[in-house]
Chains A and B, each alone.
Chain A
């Protein structure tokens, strides 16, 4: 499998973001115990959660594409011959490439602007700059677009199962 490095990378960022969720649970715990026991909650918890939830969602898209776990319905297409199914899968992957490519393309200038003007959210408790998450969306959306291309190529080479095998734990 030629693209295994890409799949390994998607696994790595998936693992990191999954761990990050566990860390967020700990952050919540510290916040609540701080509030109840010491009357001093952790400042900025809400802001951290808000930014993290988008980051986590986007970091996990590439592996969802590689592992074929994006939700879809195959009620109708299952009845078609194999080649027709392959053509439809490729068309779907092309749309995925276009959509995520478009998101990356459109989000890029916004990320640059957010960086230049130092855009932030949250006030009083903690200022969270928006550019890291905005750039993360650009990079992960682009990666997802690439993932669709890889899956399309793997499909025509008959490598889909190999690609899938690389995504399991």
Chain B
């Protein structure tokens, strides 16, 4: 069994590296895997058709196209330009100001969706062109967009946290709150990195130009004011709706899309621009959605082959030392993160790892935050880093390469893992807020 599991993993890798569409590679590998596992092509076919119908059958998935649409409207309306001009003015004195603004903005957007790829897609369109226009290095700009999208899973509502809490029977409310402090620490680290890099090598992130005659132009000020107010209103409706308890993420996404359309019309978008936005939103969404479907086929193959049992047995046969066990869990999550999506990793591994961590004495909230961080970091690693591909598919500049995005993301990957380790070493980071608030 182990040889079959690792064989299919190898096959998948080979296909991905030979340039096969990743969705196709995932689907094909899982069908072959199921066939070899059960010797029945009928069952292999059933897995394909069953997953095709069921994998996305949840209304929550509609947030992906809707938030992409929202981002398209905002970025094509010119509002994003205006917002970044405002941010530019506000944070102008700060080295790497637009990157810092991207970190904050990205965290906010990811907090709306609970699905970090949607915010990566949105910010690839909004933030990346602005940063490049200001002369930021491409890799630096791409890295901050991809890296800071990971913040979303630490800020509620987070789908990963809900799945985790239900599986391990810890309180969802407590887990939500537990993520706040590590999330803020991570965001501060990101900002510090952006600022320090900008100071160390100003050519990477040139400082914003001083106000020119053009920026005191009254018409332009008015346009920026309208953009600023309407986007703030939009974010207030979307985030305020969720936090205030009026809207689900799905509903907030609906409001976001329509609200952004209204902003676009106010900013002068007409039928041609609107239809272009809608057309392009679809082109960004489609590859992500099909990837979600086939990733789900693959996670089903792993569940069917009992990959989890193989892994648990292997782990305990090595050692029972807490440090070694935690290190092995860490490495396994990193490796799985290279191949499959975060939800599937949680579904497949947490039922085994959570009891193991309890046995070796790790605080459950700290373990959950550690796990979510490490698994999210996997979205940034090659060859299958979902956020990397999302950014690649979403940036308007088609000359951007995956390699550039991967390179830019490495510092963020390191910082995420650093905070993950910090949370295990100092569990109070995760438990302090829940214990004092609840």
Contacts and interface: CB of A to CB of B under 8 A. Distances in A.
A and B bind: yes
B28 A36 contact: no
A24 interface: yes
Contacts of A96: 20-21, 24
Interface in A2-25: 14-15, 17-19, 21-22, 24-25
B278 interface: yes
A25 B258 contact: yes
A70 B251 CA distance: 28
B162 interface: no
Contact of A137 (B19, B31, B53, B66): B53
Given A70-B23, A71-B21, A103-B49, A24 B283 contact: no
Chain A, interface SS category:
helix
Nearest to B64: A53
B289 interface: yes
Contact residues on B (Cβ < 8 Å of other chain), bracket:
35 or more
A154 B402 CA distance: 25
A25 B247 contact: no
Contacts of B275: 15, 169
A92 B281 contact: no
Interface in B21-78: 21-25, 27-28, 31, 45-46, 48-49, 52-53, 56-59, 61-62, 65-66, 69
Interface in A87-135: 88-89, 91-92, 95-96, 98-99, 102-103, 105-107, 110, 130, 133-134
Contacts of B25: 95
Contacts of A15: 275, 278-279, 282
A1 to B, nearest CB: 20
Interface of A: 14-15, 17-19, 21-22, 24-29, 31-32, 36, 46, 49-54, 56-58, 60-61, 63-64, 67, 69-77, 85, 88-89, 91-92, 95-96, 98-99, 102-103, 105-107, 110, 130, 133-134, 137, 141, 169
